[in-house]
Amino acid sequence: MLEQLKKIDSEQFIGIMESFSDPIRINILELMMGGEICVCDIVKVTGLSQSKISYHIKILKD
């Protein structure tokens, strides 16, 4: 992973760190580390709306 980080510029690195700066996104990542998970299941676990989960997943994806 360190080698991959060396290949990105500082603007990309800042973007990555900003995407990890929200507790909701960290929670989503923790759920996803257990394997593939449906948005509907993330909604059930977190109690957040589907649109809010989708918004945060889009930020992580971009």
pLDDT in tens, 10-49: 888 888 888 899 999 999 999 999 999 999 999 999 999 9
Please indicate whether residue 25 or residue 9 has the higher confidence score (pLDDT).
25
pLDDT at 56 over 80: yes
Q: What pLDDT score does 36 carry? A: 92
DSSP 9: -
Q: What pLDDT score does 6 carry? A: 67
Q: How far apart are CA 60 and CA 28, in angstroms?
A: 9
Handedness of CA 39, 44, 48, 50 (dihedral sign): positive
